[in-house]
Every structure is written in structure tokens, then in C-alpha cells.
Structure 1
Amino acid sequence: MSKQEPDPDLFISPNYCKKLGNEVLEDTKIEQEVSIAKIELSNPAKILQLVESLTDKSTRKLEVKLNRYLKTECESKATFLISLHSIAEEAVVQVFHERILLDPLRVTLSDETLNALVNFQINHLTGSEQLDPKIQGLIKDVVPQGTGEVIVVPVLRQECKEKEVSYPVYLVCIVNPVRDSLYISKIVSETFNYCLTLFLNTRQSEDERRLKAECQSLLLVARKLFSHLGDLSDLLKEIMSEARRLTNAERCSLFLLDPDHLHLVAKVFDGVSPSERSTEVRIAADQGIAGHVAATGQILNIKDAYKHPLFYKGMDEATGFKTRNILCFPIRDEDNIVGVAQLCNKINGHFDYFDEQVANAFSIYCGISIMHSLVYKKIQDAQARSRLSNELMLYHMQVSRQDVLDVTMCPSQHEMPHFSKFSFTPRNILLKESPCFVLKMMQDLGFIDTFRIKQDILVRFILYVRKGYRDVPYHNWSHAFSVAHFAYLALKNFELVEKGYFTQLEALAYFISCLCHDIDHRGTTNSFQQQSNSVLASLYSSEGSVMERHHLSQTICTLNTEGCNFLESLSKDDYVKCLDLIKDMILATDLASHYKIHSRQLTLAQEGYDKTQPEHRYYLASLLMTCADLSDQTKDWAETKKVAQLIYAEFFAQGDLEKKMGKTPANMMDREKASIPDHQLEFLTQCCICIFRILATIFPHAKVLVDAIKQNILCWESSKRIFEKFKLEGKTSYEVLVSEELEFEVRSTLDNLN
């Protein structure tokens, strides 16, 4: 049943409100004319009927009804409201006449724009051309081109009656009206006298419902975050994924504070974790937008990034990404700021007041989850280290006092011809005599006298290191002894200490690092450790160089074993420096680390070594470690072939394990697919000879090493024909490698060529 129009007689003043007498009527003639004008202007019954219908809890539905009413009263083509939010500093259109917009139109407003609207009185009309350009642009986006005139009436709300402070809350836009401006102004004024409070309360209720929904979302996010505590990298990616989703941002970055170096390190940059990008992103803790937030602890909501003095547009120029706006907020633990989160480009608008509130609440969850993840990681590390220590203790026997005496009191002089020449093959030394030779080399290099090292403690350390190596085909004690022997040769032949390339302390660290660089090697690569989710991977995968960090850890563990700390005579500063040097040198044996600095080492060799530059000393030490680790390739063909047998025995054992795990091994790890001469030639030509050429550029005496590699390249080249011949007979690549015929055939081929 449709509603009937109210009876106009209901709004006629009753008799007791009328004034009698001609004199009174004459005196109030003007007032009566004004009253008649008001009656003609509007029908109170219609306004009450409008107010009666405004029962919706949605401002969109309320605006539909209000627009319909104003269109009728103003006889216009269409009407709409621009909602002004002073806290969020934005203008929003969510309904055009009776059509609710799926994506509300928004523009950012400044305080000056909002304050300027206060100058327009509630009964004063203005065309859109008199308004701020951003509001004009918004109106043009809403109103179809060619519609006609748009009359805008600001609606103000009085903040404080005593001080008469007002601020704008709506702009009422009347499109192409028939009625005159004065009429429209009074209609809007009278309508909002009744409706404004209801509209504002509904708007506030919607804002509170939005905050409530976002808080509920945060609780769900918190539950998701705590399910990732076991992996900090996954946790940080999840944090930024949820932050981006909650605020509807295009990109995200999360920086954690490195307090030791006063830098912010990007753990997730533009949504990408360090493992997925080639370089680490670091910024000073007091620079840029993120640095400012880290230093002040205050959230930054930047609506125009390119106009902000702290914004660095170089990153946009490098990546091609266009940053429009930024929301950057701090992440705290219980006491301090631990990081900064940065969100870029709010989709379809800018970050508003509610996004700031979400960010502030979200940062609390971030800080708590990160703190617990770090604690959880420490507990996991402690448990893994405990398991490793138990495993190591079960695997290795103790060094007896008699073992130490056998070395320290050994009557043999251990003289070997050409022991100090690069052509000498250290693998020819009997393993039982190798500890004596290690002691002999350290004596010859002057370490024992210079650092007042007690021989019994040093020998016990050497014996523990030997027991620390497992009986794997290649990465065993024999390999460690060969690498240490190259360190001895380099120190002797290049006169590293005498010519100032190394200090005596650096030389000691170099020799010890070579001796210990592969302790407890499992015969498998770093990638295998990570793929198999080993205990070592759980400890070190986040830092990279899994095996190398384990070798370093076992070196320190051995040094700290009772009766093994032969460095105890060093001063505190020298002791700390020596351990730092050992750390850098052992980690340098990861070829992945070498490739990162290879170009710098090449530049160093070409431009000249500067002994006063710490970076040059580090690059040289890393180069010498890599050369020592690969020194087997500088021996003669017969020795190189034997070493290849050991290497591929280890490779194929790993390949077999990978197949059992359901993975496909690399060709050089697959005994069925490997082409050993091709793999060896690739390794020698693309890796080894490049490294030793750099060494020979710095030290001309190293040219003999380059020549030896060239000779081995010729041997492997000539072996390809032999491998192909035996392959036709059904033999695998490894069977050919270990056959006696191979060496003979290669020698014969080379003799014929010569």
C-alpha cells in the first residue's frame, strides 16, 4: 500500500499561536511575507517524510534517498554528494544520483583545501570552478561531459558551539537545475538541518564497522603468522603479504635493523626475499624514508612520493616502477624498533587514516611474531648443535696422550725431495706421517717461535683436526693436508710475509684455515644439504655457504676442546683478529662466494695490489684460499687423474642418494650420464685457469701453475677420443677413468703430438 501525502492542514498554525488586532498585523507585515515565502519554499511534510525513510545503516543507501529528494525539489537532472573526511584528508563520491558506484571515486585533499571551504557560508552557492582543482577534477569524473551547470553547496558542521569552529563535511552537487540558486541553497540548508546528524552518525558507524572487520582480520592474520614461526624468511614474506592485502597496496618491503652495522637490511624487498634476488638491499639506518621511520618511530603516510624530500627516485628509475604514495611504519619488539615495513601504491587511491590504524595494530603482531621466531630459531639451533655435537662425539675417538707424544717425540727428520716446490705431490706422503709434516711446515714458517706456541697443544689440535675429517672419497684429511701444503708453498715461494702481503698473524690464519677448511665434510654439496633438509641446512641455510659455515663451526669447536687451544699465547686483540681471519678464509672456499668477488680480484691484479687497502688484503687472502683448495689441478696428469677418480666417486655417490630421494641429479653427479672429460675441461677452462692466471699476474712465480693446468687441459682433450672409444664398448665414463689403459693412451697420444 503506497504512502499518502500528509494533510497540509496539519502544518497550519493553531489558533492559540495567532496574533489578533490590526495594529499587530500591520506591524508584522514583513514577517508574514517572509513566512509566506518559506511556506512556498518547502513543504515540511516532505522533509519529515524523507527523515522518516532514512532508516538504513548504509550511507550509500541514505545518499540514494537524499539525492532522489533533492533532485525532485531542485528540479535538476541529477544530484550527488561529495563526502569530506578531514581526518583521512580525502573527498569521496560513492553514489551518483541513484546509482551506487562499485569503486568509489577518491581524491586527496590538503588542510588548506578543507579550510577554504569554510569560507563558503551554508546559504552561499558556488560553481565548481571556484573550488580546489582536485575537487573540480572529481566532479568532472562524476558528471558526464555536456550535462550542463553543476551548482555546489558546502555543508558545514559546527565543531564547538562556544568557539563557533566549523568544518566542511559534505559538498552537495546539483546538476543542471531548473530552480534558481537562492532556492537551492535554502533547500539544501533546510534539509541538512534535519538530516546531517543522522548522516554523520551513520558514517561514523560504518567507519567503526570497518575497523572492527579489520581487527577481526588482524586476529586471523596473527594466527597465520604464528604458524610460520619455524622459518623467519617465510614469516617475513607472510607478514608483508598480509600487510599488502590488508591495505590494498601494490608492493611491499620489510627491513630489519642490523644494530651492529647501523643498517636496515631488506628481508623482503618489493615482495621478493633475499634468496630470490642476486643482491642484498641495505640502507643506512638514518637515511631515506625507512631510515627516518626507524630513527623516529613515527609512521609516515606520504600521499605524493615525488614531492617528499626523503624519497629517493633512483630506485624507480632503475626498476621502471612508478611510486605514487607510501605508507611506512615501524616494527617494535617489547623494547626497541627492530625493523620497518614500507607499502607502496594504494590501489585506486592513497593510504588513509584507517590504513594507518591497521598498520599501527599490525606492527604489534609483526614485532611479537618476529621476536618469537628469532627465539624459536635459537632454540632450534641449540637443539641442532647439540645433536651435531653428540653425533661428532660418537663418530670420533679421543686423542690419547700417547698419540701426542708419538708426534712431538718422533725421531724421523721427514725429509722429502722437492717438498717446497709446486711440482711436489703431497698425496705421496704417508697419512700416518702427515701430522709430523704439518708440524714441520709450521716450524719452517716460524709460527711456533713467533707466537710461542706449545708444541704438545698444537699437536693435539692437529690430531683432533685429522679425526674431524670423515672417510669420504675426496674431501678427507688427505685433501686437507694437500691444501695446507699449498699454503706452505705460497708463503715460501711468494714470500708473502717478507714482502708485506701478509702479516705473520695473517699467514698463521691462512695455514690453519687451509688445514681446517673441510672438517666434517659429508661428501655432499651445499645444494644437497638444503634439498635434503639436513640438520646442517636447518642451522646455516639462511646464512648461505652451509658446509663452509659448518667447517668453521667445527674448527672453533676443536680449538675450544680442552688442551687444543694453541692460540692461547696470543694477546686478546690478536686472538680475536686471528679468529676473524679464519672465518673469512674458510668461508672464501665456497666457490659461490669466489664468483661474487672474482671481477674485483681481476681488477686488483690488473691495477696493482695495494698492501695498505684492507679490501685488497681480503681479496688476496680469498684468492689464495681458492687456489689452495683447487691446487690438485696444478699437479701432473697422473695425479690429476687420480684426484678426478676420487671427486667423481663422491659426486656419483651423491647422485645415487638424490635418485633415491626421487630427485634428478645434475649430469656430472649422474654416473649414467656424466661425460667426465667434458666436465673436467669445463672446470679447468672456465674456473681453474682463470683463477690461477690472476694469481700469476700478482706473483709471476705462479706461472708454473698456469702451465700445469694448460698441460692437463691438453691431456683431457686427448682423452675425449679414448672415452668415446670405450663408450662404444659399453663402458661407463667412470669405468674408463679408473682403467689403466686411459693414462697410457693419453701419454701415447701426447708423445705422438710432440
Structure 2
Amino acid sequence: MVIVLAHTIASAYLYIRNPDRFGLHRTDTRVESGDSPSTCSSCCKQSHYNSSLSENFYNEEAYLPLLEAKTIPELRLAIRNAISSIVSQLDHVVVYLKNPTTGIVEADGGKTIPSDGLLWHVFHQENVSVTECPSTLLDPLSDCLGLSEEEQENHSVICIPVPGKSEEGSIGIIAASFENGISVNVHDSRFEYLKKQTSVCYQLIKSSTNTRRKSVCESDSHIESLIGLCGELYDQDAASLQIKVIKYLQQRTQAQSAFLLLVVPDTQELFCQVVGSKVLQEEFRFPGQTSCFAPALERKKPISLDDLPKDKRQELHDIAGTNINSFLCVPVRRKGGEDLIALACVLNKKGSERFCGDDAQAIRKCFQYTATVLTSTLAFQNERKLKNQTQALLHVARKLFTRLDDLTKLLREIMQEARNLTQAERCSVFLIDEDELVAKVFDGISAGEQQIEQEIILPKTQGIAGHVATSGQLLNIKDAYSHPLFYRGIDDSTGFRTRNILCFPIKNEDEMVLGVAQLCNKKTGPCFTQFDEDIASAFAVYCCISISHCLMYRKTQEAHHRNRLANELMIFHMKVTDEEVTYLDVDIKSVYDIHPDFDQFSYAPRTLAEEETPGACMSMFEDLGFISKWRIKKDCLIRFVLMVKRGYRNPPYHNWMHAYSVAHFCYLLIKNLKLEEIVGDIQVFALFVSCLCHDIDHRGTTNSFQVESQSVLAALYSSEGSVMERHHFAQSMCILNTEGCNIFENLSSMHYTQVLDLMREIILATDLAHHLRILKSLKEIANNGYNTESSRDVKLLLCLSMTSCDLSDQTKNWKNTKHIASLVYQEFFSQGDLEKALGQNPLEMMDRDRACIPDLQISFLDNIALPVYEVLAKTFPRLQEVLQNVLENRSRWEKIGQVLKLRRGNSSQQLTVEQIIALDSDSEEFEALKQANAVNGR
């Protein structure tokens, strides 16, 4: 095509340089020598015309537009301009050319050549014709030229057919009109040149059009096939989609085979699922950064076989499974980003030694439309796999967590579920016991309940399981017999052949290995896959949780059984003998037989011998009417009182005598204030029993000490607060649940529940922290009056009553009060000594070296005791005498404080608790010290 164009340009140039050579001055054969004058005139015109034509023809620009035309319309325009330049007298010009695509001969505007008339005749005869303009009625030529009726009468027309190749005839026709009298030589070489020039340019345009059309057709064909591929990508399975995409790539690039290497974004790991039309049984997965595909991952540009290091080409052969003659790898970017989603690889181009840039472009074009579908399907498949895996693991968790009561059954369940999840033939679970691995069911085969359990014990450092146990790393062995850690002895003895092994650790949250699970022989593939490794790692978490909880549950059960045995032993030694019951099973004494003032607030209950106190308790139950009202069996009451007495330890103060004196003050409140009429019958019953039980098993230490020393009691109760009080209530419930000791057994269901709830609230109210929280509300009741209809007021009054009973030793005579102070500080100082031994700094009242007992007692009375009895006396005026006793005891402590200060004025010697308590403001020593200090001016 280029050669033809060059020849055309050259011939045009030579024609212009030497027109004589081409017979430019040949005369028209129509002109004869013997013409008339008019004819001579015509000849003159002809001579003028030839001269003008020669001048115009020498203008080389007249033909250049023909060479520049790239389309048929442009060529028609160039022809009109060229012939008008050659023959300036032409009025109208029309050019018909055959459409290279449709073959229709047409002019501008899509007007086709008439099917008859002069134009049609000349077009098919292929000879130049000059004639007078035919009438419109006879020929459509005039209409084609656009001649008016006047022009039709005085104009002639010239028709110049444009020849094509010999086999295709004319390719067009040029028609023009001119005034009559202008002579035109139909054989003029200029017309011949124009025809040839037009023919050559037409062929160039036709060839170019066909080439473009062919290219467009091919492009359309590729687009259609690509659209067809996109329409076929409806599968929800990534492997099926890859097969279709790979098939298209093979056809488009003429490759014998192809595959996709999918990229894991986080790790740059590559994996292949399909090669050609074959779905791999196990996906081929390997690290991309160290493979032969690393250049494509790093540069994100296509690579060929020449770009692969020769020592790493074996990887490509392993994937393709065939010899590699040519290779092209094109990175596929994620749409809208720079991250790679895959490497598209084509192998062995048919009919060529290598792949070209067009092949790379075709691959890019393919994934421009299919990458989104592929990534979406992969994401969907991963989500579906994750969902199925999650559901499977939830099912596993549900099954495992129902076996926490039996470790052997749990291990069997773990083995069974591990086999199901990974499609393994066998499974064994080893638990670590110091330096050994212990397996109860070695082969993992399910067994019935009658199976005889036998343990297999292995050293922790032996074999594959030992390696995983010590390293804490999962081990996937594709060929067991080739692995150095595998022991063949078991296979030889059992006849079982181990092909592959997946062994994974069972670790807790601290990465400590609790055990090892070992799976043998993948049933649905040649070996265990990456997916099996992932699901085994997830499964190991559930194994760890279930095994840990099972072991913890077993320890809890063992501890529970030990505690139960200890309680049984304790109850056995606390158990009340029949002889003791018989000793008390006599007529219950009247309280007045015990002491005439037994029901008076002035009576000090501690004056009664301890061995007589159980009988006194029976008398109080009887005198308050509890025995008859609540149908308490006498022997049951005896056993209950004796069990409560034995439940108290023997610290200096918080012992049975304290409980007895607290219960006695409660008796006084109920007896003297008719408390049952104020708070209710069941309430006063619960209050009295709570007073007896409120300090059971007291250890002689405070709540804060229990927490600081991290005692067992603190571990049980510290989260709820009031450690000792909760323990006292728990021990009370233990006694009530002891056979023959439940004094509430004949209560109705409603009263039974109510009395236990009341006991809990009342005993917890003995915590002074609780009392200080409700003191403001108690003062409001004292000021505003008590509402018997308010359950809140009832509970507050019961709590106030309990606290007043607990502190009632401060309401007795001075002798009793001094004695109690001695007991309290013995207990306090004992705790202080323990705190010092623990490296702690005890409170002043606990420190025997710093405590000033009179000051501490005054502070205690002012801040704790007096507010209680002031509220009580304001609520119940009958109790003013109780308040007065407390105030009198306070004044006694003030005087002792003065004595102590006088004593210290003469000597710096420290006094013991007993010596301080023994000081009395009424003594002769007090008067002597007072006079001596007066003399000295103190």
C-alpha cells in the first residue's frame, strides 16, 4: 500500500514537471479545418480554454487533496475541487463513488446513482462522454446536477467514469455541466490522470477501510467473547470461575495451559486451585516473596520465562505439571487500588516461540472486567467457609461443654470431633502430666461405656507428639515414614499404615501447653491441608477451654468432697449426744428461777455460769412464747442451742458468752417493749434467733484483717462485703440444716422463707459499716415517728435492735463494762500482733504499744454506742435508763483517763491492759495522786 502511494505521488510530480510528455496539446477530434466562422470562433475559445487548462494543470495543489483524503466523502470533495481547478468554466459538479462497505454507488448526502439515463449508461460503458444537457423529462442527470430549466437549454455535460480494478468495473463517475460553446476534449490526458489518481486514492481508502473494519471486527469479536465470559461468571464457587477465566485466557492468547496464582494480601502468600481445566485436589500454596514469582509481586509488571532464575523454574514446572517452552505472568491489580489479587500465568504459546505485549494487554483487559467478580466470589467463598467453620465449631463447643463432668468422655468427644472436622482416620489426645504424655484412648476409636480404660504413657520429649508438646508449634507431616521423628513400631505391631500426620498443641491463654492432639491419615486427600491446620488451631482453643474447665471442675468436685468430709467430721465432733439432750430435757426453768431481775435491764447476764446458759436460753424461748407459737420440739431446740454454743470458738470476747448476753438483751427488748406488737411475731422470732447465731465461728479478727491477710473467708465473701457476717449466716444455715436441729421445721413455707431472709438481713446488720450507713435514716425515724405499716421502717428498727443488742455490754454496771473492755482489747491487741508479724502497721486501738484505752473507749461510746441508744431511747422512752447507764460508764472512763494522766505525770512506766482497767476514780490512789499533783502545781 505504501509503495502504491509513493508511485502515485511520484507520477503526479513528473506529470506536473513535464506535461508535454503526456500529449497535453492534442487537438479535439471534433474540430475540422473547414468549419464556419462560428466554428472558428469556437476554435478560438478552444485555444483559450487549452491555454487556461494548461495553466491550471501546472498547479500541483489541484491534485494533492486527493492524496490527503482518508474517507470516501473527503475524496468526493477533493475530486470536485480538483476538476473545478482543471476546468474553471464548470458550473455544477457531482461525484458518485462506490461505498467500499456496501457497494452502493452514491454521492454526497447518500444520493445513489440513477438506475437509468446517461449517468447509468456511462458508468457501465466506462467511456468519457460529452453531450448536451438532456431534458429532465428524459434523463435524471439534470436533477443530479441541480440545473435549472434555463441552464438545461444552454449547457452541456461531461461524464467521466472512474475505473476500478479489472474485475470490479467502474468504481464511480464524475459529472459536470458547462455552457454551450466551450469545447472539451474527452480524450484529454488530464481527465485520464484524474481518473487514475481517483482510482488509486479510492483503492487506498478502501484498503484502509477494510483493514479498520477487520480490526474493528476482530475487536468486536474479542469484546463479544469477553462479554460472554462475564455472562458466564455466575458460579458461587471460585474454582469454577477460574476454569472459565483460564479457558478464555488460553483461547485469547493461544496458550496450551494457564493458571491463576491468588495472592493473600497480608502475607503475600500465593496459592493455586486450578491448572488448565483441572481443579487440584489440594491447593498448591507457597510463600510468594521467596518464589520465582517474586519479581512480579515486587515490580507489579509482567514477567516472562527469561525473567525467572533457572534454579527456581522447577516451582513453575511443579505447578504446571508439564515442560515450559514459553511463559507469561501478568500481575492483576485490585480495581481502584495498587494491591495485587492474582498472578495470571499462561504457558506454551501455540505457533510462536514467545508471548507478546498484545497477550499481556489481552490478559489485563480480561481482568479489567472479571477481577471484581473473582474477588467477590473469593470473599463470598471465604465468608461461607468461615460461617461453616464457625457453625461446626459451635456445634463442637456445644458437644464438648456437655462432657465437663467426665474427662475420659470429654477426650473421646474431642477425638471424634477432631476426626470429623479434618476427615482423619484416627486421632489421639495426650495430656501433659509433669514430664510425661498420657493418653487414655490411644487410637481415638469410639468405644462403648464398657470399654476397659488403659493409659499409654510416653516421655514428653519422645516422638512427634513430644516435639509438639515441647515446642508448642503445629506440625503437618505429609509423609510420615520419611519424617525422622516418626516411630514405625506401632504400625508394624498393629498392621495400620500411617501415611500423614497433623499434630497440634492444646494451649491455654498463657501459651502453656496442656496437651497434644495427633490426627492420622487424611481420608479425602493425599495429606492434611492449610485449611485443616487453620481449623485445628481454632479447634484447639475449644479443646483447651473444655479440658481446663473439666480439670477445674474435677478439682472443684474433689475440694467439695473434701469440704463435705471435713464438715461431716466437724459436725460429728459438734454433734450433740443423747446424754446432753437428756440432761437438759427437763422442765424448763422460769426466768425468775434463774434470777429475780432476769427481765430487768439492770441485770448482767454474764453473772450466770456458762454451763447454765443453754438452760437460760431455753427459758427465754419459753417465756417469749416461741416454743408454743412456732411449734418447736423440745429436743430439737436443745440440740439447736447446744450446736450453736459449740459453733462458737473461744476468742477473748466474741465467744458463746457474748452471744448469750446479746440474746438476753434482745429478750429484754421483746419482753419490756412488747416488740412483737411493733414489728411482728415472725420478726421478733427471727431477731432472737439471729442474736444467738450472729457471731458463730468468729475468729477474733475484723473484716479488714480477713481481706488484708487474704484468708479463705475473704476469698469466699470479700466480693460481696461483710466477710465475717456472711460467714456467720452461712454457719447458722449449716446448723439449721443439721439433722434434728432445724427449729423452723414446723413453719409454713411462707414463714420459713421469711424467717431465713430476716436472719440474713439482721446478721449482716451487725457489720458496723452497715450500721453507719443507715444511722441517718434511724435518726429520721426517731424524729418523725415510727410507721408500723412501712416495711422499710420495720427493717430499720430490726437492724437498730440488733446493733443495740450487740453493744449491750456497754449498758450494764461498771464492773461488767470494765471486764468487757479487758476482753475486747485482749482480742484487739492479739490481732495487732498478727498484723505486725505480717509487716503491717496496725490501727492505734489494735496496737498495744500505742493504744490509750480510756480515750479509745470514750471515742467508741461517743461515735458508735451513744448514737444507737440515743435513737433507741428517743423511739422508746422506756429505755432512758439504758442510755443513762451508758453515759455513766462514759464518765467513769473520763475519770480513769484523768487517773492515767496523773499516774504518767509521776512515772513514764507503761501500764498493762489489766492495770489500766483496774484503775478506779474512787480509789485512794486517785485521791493521793490528785493531792500530790495539786501540791506540785499540776
> TM-score, normalized by length of structure 1?
0.51
Deviation at 1:486, TM superposition (A): 0.9
Q: Are residues 1:706 and 2:886 paired?
A: no
Q: Are residues 1:193 and 2:365 paired?
A: no
Aligned to 1:26: 209
Q: Are residues 1:401 and 2:603 paired?
A: no
Deviations for 1:114-138, whole angstroms, at most 9, x for unmatched residues? Answer: xxxxxxxx9xxxxxxxxxxxxxxxx
1-structure distance, mates of 2:538, 2:901: 66
Distance 1:618 1:204, change over 3 A: same
8 A contact 1:408–1:459 mirrored in 2: no
Q: Are residues 1:720 and 2:720 paired?
A: no
The amino acid that maps onto 1:677 is P
The amino acid that maps onto 2:673 is F
SS of residue in 2 equivalent to 1:497: helix
8 A contact 1:407–1:435 mirrored in 2: no
Aligned to 2:620: 441
1-structure distance, mates of 2:614, 2:636: 13
Distance 1:443 1:534, change over 3 A: same
2-structure distance, mates of 1:593, 1:440: 32
2-structure distance, mates of 1:444, 1:479: 21
Aligned to 2:630: 451
2-structure distance, mates of 1:647, 1:737: 14
Distance 1:23 1:493, change over 3 A: same
2-structure distance, mates of 1:723, 1:398: 48
8 A contact 1:667–1:673 mirrored in 2: yes
2-structure distance, mates of 1:360, 1:608: 67
Deviation at 1:375, TM superposition (A): 8.1
Which residue, out of 584, 597, 609, partners 2:786?
609
The amino acid that maps onto 2:664 is H
2-structure distance, mates of 1:748, 1:481: 38
2-structure distance, mates of 1:703, 1:624: 15
Deviation at 1:461, TM superposition (A): 1.9
Deviation at 1:648, TM superposition (A): 0.5
Aligned to 1:536: 713
Q: Which runs of 5+ in 2 are unaligned?
A: 1-202, 220-259, 269-287, 290-295, 302-334, 342-360, 398-403, 405-536, 932-938
Q: Which runs of 5+ in 1 are unaligned?
A: 1-19, 37-50, 71-121, 123-152, 159-185, 223-228, 230-357
2-structure distance, mates of 1:66, 1:157: 8
1-structure distance, mates of 2:713, 2:795: 27
Which residue, out of 547, 550, 556, partners 2:727?
550
1-structure distance, mates of 2:811, 2:727: 27
Give 1:455-534 correspondences, 5 Å limit.
Answer: 455-498=634-677, 501-534=678-711
1-structure distance, mates of 2:691, 2:726: 14
Distance 1:660 1:505, change over 3 A: same
8 A contact 1:675–1:733 mirrored in 2: no
1-structure distance, mates of 2:638, 2:337: 91
SS of residue in 2 equivalent to 1:523: coil
Q: Are residues 1:416 and 2:595 paired?
A: yes
2-structure distance, mates of 1:55, 1:457: 77
Distance 1:674 1:512, change over 3 A: same
2-structure distance, mates of 1:451, 1:377: 39
Distance 1:639 1:497, change over 3 A: same
SS of residue in 2 equivalent to 1:568: coil
8 A contact 2:647–2:697 mirrored in 1: yes
Deviations for 1:529-571, whole angstroms, at most 9, x for unmatched residues? Answer: 3334444334333433232223223323323333333333322
The amino acid that maps onto 2:706 is Q
Deviation at 1:397, TM superposition (A): 6.5
Deviations for 1:41-96, whole angstroms, at most 9, x for unmatched residues? Answer: xxxxxxxxxx99x998668x99xx999999xxxxxxxxxxxxxxxxxxxxxxxxxx
Aligned to 1:625: 802
Deviation at 1:508, TM superposition (A): 1.2
2-structure distance, mates of 1:359, 1:543: 37
Aligned to 2:607: 428
Deviations for 1:385-412, whole angstroms, at most 9, x for unmatched residues? Answer: 5435534644x46344355434624678
Aligned to 1:679: 856
Deviations for 1:567-592, whole angstroms, at most 9, x for unmatched residues? Answer: 33322332232222222222221223
Aligned alpha-carbon RMSD (Å): 5.3
2-structure distance, mates of 1:68, 1:157: 11
8 A contact 1:453–1:566 mirrored in 2: yes
The amino acid that maps onto 1:26 is T
Deviations for 1:720-743, whole angstroms, at most 9, x for unmatched residues? Answer: 232334454412352433335567
Deviations for 1:501-544, whole angstroms, at most 9, x for unmatched residues? Answer: 22222211111110121122222222333334444334333433
Bigger shift: residues 476-485 or 703-712 = 703-712
8 A contact 1:457–1:566 mirrored in 2: yes
SS of residue in 1 equivalent to 2:642: helix
8 A contact 1:723–1:736 mirrored in 2: no
8 A contact 1:658–1:665 mirrored in 2: yes
Which residue, out of 649, 661, 669, partners 2:846?
669
Give 1:534-613 correspondences, 5 Å limit.
Answer: 534-613=711-790
2-structure distance, mates of 1:376, 1:607: 56
2-structure distance, mates of 1:411, 1:392: 29
The amino acid that maps onto 1:193 is Q
Q: Are residues 1:652 and 2:806 paired?
A: no
Distance 1:535 1:722, change over 3 A: same
2-structure distance, mates of 1:562, 1:56: 71
8 A contact 2:584–2:638 mirrored in 1: no
8 A contact 1:425–1:635 mirrored in 2: yes
8 A contact 1:638–1:743 mirrored in 2: no
2-structure distance, mates of 1:370, 1:538: 20
Distance 1:410 1:574, change over 3 A: closer
8 A contact 1:659–1:665 mirrored in 2: yes
8 A contact 2:633–2:743 mirrored in 1: yes
SS of residue in 1 equivalent to 2:699: coil
Distance 1:157 1:397, change over 3 A: closer
User: How many pairs were matched up?
Assistant: 469
% same residue: 38
SS of residue in 1 equivalent to 2:593: coil
Which residue, out of 675, 687, 694, partners 2:871?
694
Distance 1:688 1:192, change over 3 A: farther
2-structure distance, mates of 1:626, 1:639: 19
1-structure distance, mates of 2:759, 2:217: 98
2-structure distance, mates of 1:564, 1:582: 16
Distance 1:576 1:719, change over 3 A: same
Aligned to 2:918: 739
1-structure distance, mates of 2:583, 2:560: 37
The amino acid that maps onto 2:208 is L
2-structure distance, mates of 1:370, 1:717: 61
SS of residue in 1 equivalent to 2:679: coil
Q: Which has the larger radius of gyration?
A: 2
